[in-house]
Amino acid sequence: MALFARIREDIHSVKERDPAARSRLEILLCYPGLWAVWIHRVSHALWRAGLRLPARMLSQLARFFTGVDIHPGALLGRRLFIDHAMGVVIGETAIVGSDVTLYQGVTLGGTGKGHGKRHPTVCDGVFIGNNANVLGNITVGENSRVGAGSVVLSDVPPNSTVVGVPAHIVYRNGQRVLITDPHDVKDPLSDALIALSARVEELEKCLCVEGIQPHPAEPFAAEEAERSAYREDLERLQEYVSMGEGI
């Protein structure tokens, strides 16, 4: 695809996805995320040609001016939109598909010092919210969404929404995903919550054996009685207390 045709395509995609973009000239002059993508195309060409040091130097120059750190070895698809730009990091073996949107602070990083494919693959049409971390050799499926501040450590199926630390699926194919097993959350506290729940069930069984009802028919009866008495006192005081009328 011709250079200028690709530039026009990038500008058009930003205008479609960002309601704050008022004109193509504004996008050209005021969107550092777009500059970072364009500079990366040059540094990536140098990287593939074996000119590794010049490629790294150019990527560092882009980092200085745009706040976006894209390794020259990363593969970026068409119409990538990096909104607000600052703090975005894309690792060496990361693969980013077409029509992907990244917000500020997103990291597509690794989890160790191993060689080979160690960064994520982000498929077409993915949206990643600000300050989200997608780590390791995992895949985020097509048209999926990653919530802001999430930490994604495992594969995300297509057409899914994930949130949390670590991230878990809350929507898939437009349907709400209900979590019934705490292990599905993969939270470090899951085991503690499961043990606590099991202990509560055990205690309730013991109370039932001894003839004690663990759940009263009206668990907040005493509190409701106190509230009713308080309301009655307020109604009696209204006859004597002025609320400032006529001042």
SS3 for 135-151 is ECCCEECCCCEECCCCE
Euclidean distance between CA atoms 124 and 78, whole angstroms: 9
Contact assessment for residue 46 and residue 71, using Cβ atoms and an 8 Å cutoff = no
Contact assessment for residue 92 and residue 76, using Cβ atoms and an 8 Å cutoff = no
Q: Count the residues in the chain.
A: 247
DSSP strand E in 95-190: where?
A: 95-96, 101-102, 107-109, 121-122, 127-128, 133-135, 139-140, 145-146, 151-152, 160-163, 168-172, 175-176
Average pLDDT over residues 174-186: 70
Between residues 209 and 107, the one the model is more confident about: 107
> HSE of 203 in the Cβ direction (CA atoms, 13 Å)?
8
pLDDT of residue 246: 43
How confident is residue 124, by pLDDT bands cut at 50, 70 and 90? very high
pLDDT of residue 73: 93
pLDDT of residue 180: 64
| 182 alpha-carbon distance from chain centroid | 21
Domain boundaries, the chain: 3-185, 190-237
State the Cα angle at 8 between 7 and 13, rounded to 5°.
Answer: 100
Euclidean distance between CA atoms 114 and 118, whole angstroms: 7
Report which residue type is found at 74: A
Average pLDDT over residues 75-84: 92
- pTM, two decimals, is 0.73
Distance of CA 43 to CAs 90, 101, 155, Å? 14, 21, 29
How confident is residue 187, by pLDDT bands cut at 50, 70 and 90? low
Between residues 115 and 55, the one the model is more confident about: 55
pLDDT of residue 211: 61
Residue pLDDT, tens place only, 126-163? 999 999 999 999 999 999 999 999 999 999 999 999 99
How confident is residue 220, by pLDDT bands cut at 50, 70 and 90? low
How confident is residue 247, by pLDDT bands cut at 50, 70 and 90? very low
How confident is residue 234, by pLDDT bands cut at 50, 70 and 90? confident
Residue pLDDT, tens place only, 10-50? 899 998 888 888 888 999 999 999 999 999 999 999 999 99
Average pLDDT over residues 39-63: 94
pLDDT of residue 215: 57
Q: With a cut of 60, say whether residue 95 has pLDDT above it.
A: yes
Report CA Rg, the chain: 28
How confident is residue 106, by pLDDT bands cut at 50, 70 and 90? very high
Quick check: helix, strand or coil at residue 203?
helix
Considering the four listed CATH numbers 3.40.50.2300, 3.40.50.11540, 2.160.10.10, 1.10.287.1080, the one that applies to the domain covering 3-185 is 2.160.10.10
